[in-house]
Structure 1
């Protein structure tokens, strides 16, 4: 074949090697890289914004006082900086939310993945995900004006405060159901059909196949969905502020009013603490603690996915 023919054959390797640079691809790569760096830059910016006031706070308040006391009142006289009331309230409301969201979310995911027809799935999954778009302030007022009175009528022996952790936790759980359900369903849908067919061939029922085969095969994605939902619940602000209250009291009873870390930040950020004061810097100290907790949970999620993904590849 002549050299002229080698250079004019469309799609030939030689013609690709001598093609002109595709500047459009370079632009697209640069745009995608910039988009990926936005989240990294945002995280770095948050750390920088929290670091200096947090260091200044702990220069005045010792770690022993911060983590070793159960009295919290930065605006009291004398002030108290024991953060355990906020931690306990955050953990308590998050646990209530998990108890609500994980069973319901997994049940919804199993139904959509294993039982629902494609038409039903196309209808119900978007409807379920719309729940995640409801403003959290709506959930908060719903918990305050409907859920708490309902709980008082149905369970009068609970002795609930007007604002309480139980109602707040229940609605936070409802809020994170779409996270658990949607992400878990995506993981289950990615399980190869060969695993299901092998289970059916051994005589297993659809329910047994779903629980004993599909769920374990999608375990890494399910764990990641649950931890992501827990992180979302721990950082929720409006529901816990409206329905849970701002009372910073060390208590384990969910019927009492209590303030989470996020609720305290919302209250103090719009309260009477003057900028630069030690009470104002508590916002950044508590925010840093919440950031570390959320970051640790997300890191745990990534590690769990990495560990168990290899088993089912």
Structure 2
């Protein structure tokens, strides 16, 4: 019988290291799975709550009247549940925000990616991202107390509570999202494409517009969709500076309530829990959720359709 071999100290240490590494790998795998499962669970729970609570609302209110009605007076003696005033105000402010964020964000991204030297980029990008740290309440009162009186000197008929100024402020708020994601996408474009364009005699501006931007189109689109979703879901700026009157208007100089501002108004506790007026929180929240989901699906399609593989 061959004698039993006793492992030496080095082999014991190595085997113990391998065992600890396998254990750590299993623990991390479980933790990562739980984190992913938690996000899926939270999203599913939100959808279930919105759908279940909205189901009770739509059992009493026609979905056709809800989507096509032009009056939103759920707490009046003769309640009307047409969501169009809230929906139109929400889309108007988001569109105004994108009119500010898209051109400014694209130009700033091109500058940071193609023109700025590394030291300037290291200063400007974190400074721009500091805008995300400003509380939205501060933005709201800045829009109401500073920007609105200032713009009233130049824009005739601009009301003290309006959609125009909150839309502009929203555009400034989402700039960090648009610039950061767009600039990262542009910097991911291989330098070989830039060098080939320079070899063909293109200028720096032509390279940026004809090579870099098309090459990073999927990432730029993702940045714009992310900014749009952020603008649609913003609450405090619109609740403070846009007003809480469900006014069906196409004039951004007037005030109107958005979906998020209405949800804040109803959530203050003035309405009894379980009433039909209170359940409008979930029906309007479901509309907002579907809008955001639609933007995300559109962004996913555009990224998949125009994504470049290098």
TM-score by length of 1: 0.92
For each residue in 1:125-156, what CA deviation from the matched residue of structure 2 results, as whole angstroms up to 9, or x when unmatched?
1111111121111110000001110111122x
2:75 equivalent in structure 1: 75
Aligned-residue offset at 1:178 = 0.6
Aligned-residue offset at 1:301 = 1.1
Residues 271 and 259 (structure 1), Cα distance of their counterparts in 2 relative to 1, 3 Å cut: farther
2:4 equivalent in structure 1: none
2:3 equivalent in structure 1: none
Q: Distance in 2 between matches of 1:107 and 1:184?
A: 10
Q: Distance in 1 between matches of 2:37 and 2:134?
A: 29
Check if 1:250 corresponds to 2:245: no
Unaligned runs of 5+ in 1: 1-6
1:237 equivalent in structure 2: 235
Check if 1:292 corresponds to 2:290: yes
Check if 1:41 corresponds to 2:41: yes
Q: Distance in 2 between matches of 1:168 and 1:221?
A: 27
Q: Distance in 2 between matches of 1:20 and 1:290?
A: 50
Q: Distance in 2 between matches of 1:274 and 1:161?
A: 33
Q: Distance in 1 between matches of 2:207 and 2:244?
A: 47
1:3 equivalent in structure 2: none
Q: Distance in 1 between matches of 2:37 and 2:228?
A: 25
Which one of 197, 205, 208 corresponds to residue 207 of structure 1?
205
Query: Could you tell me whether the CA contact under 8 Å between 1:54 and 1:284 is conserved in 2?
Result: yes
Query: Could you tell me whether the CA contact under 8 Å between 1:217 and 1:312 is conserved in 2?
Result: no
For each residue in 1:225-252, what CA deviation from the matched residue of structure 2 results, as whole angstroms up to 9, or x when unmatched?
0001000000100001101010101100
1:4 equivalent in structure 2: none
For each residue in 1:275-302, what CA deviation from the matched residue of structure 2 results, as whole angstroms up to 9, or x when unmatched?
0000000010000110011011112112
Which runs of structure 2 are paired with 1:158-177 in the superposition (5 Å)?
Answer: 159-177=157-175
TM-score by length of 2: 0.93
Q: Distance in 2 between matches of 1:201 and 1:188?
A: 20
Aligned-residue offset at 1:20 = 4.6
Unaligned runs of 5+ in 2: 1-6
Counting matched residue pairs gives 299
Check if 1:225 corresponds to 2:223: yes
Match of 1:183, SS state, is: helix
Q: Distance in 2 between matches of 1:68 and 1:38?
A: 37
Give the alignment's Cα RMSD to 1 decimal.
1.9
Q: Distance in 2 between matches of 1:143 and 1:20?
A: 59
Which runs of structure 2 are paired with 1:5-154 in the superposition (5 Å)?
Answer: 20=19, 22-154=22-154
Q: Distance in 1 between matches of 2:303 and 2:41?
A: 24
Query: Could you tell me whether the CA contact under 8 Å between 1:66 and 1:81 is conserved in 2?
Result: yes
2:186 equivalent in structure 1: 188
Aligned-residue offset at 1:108 = 0.8
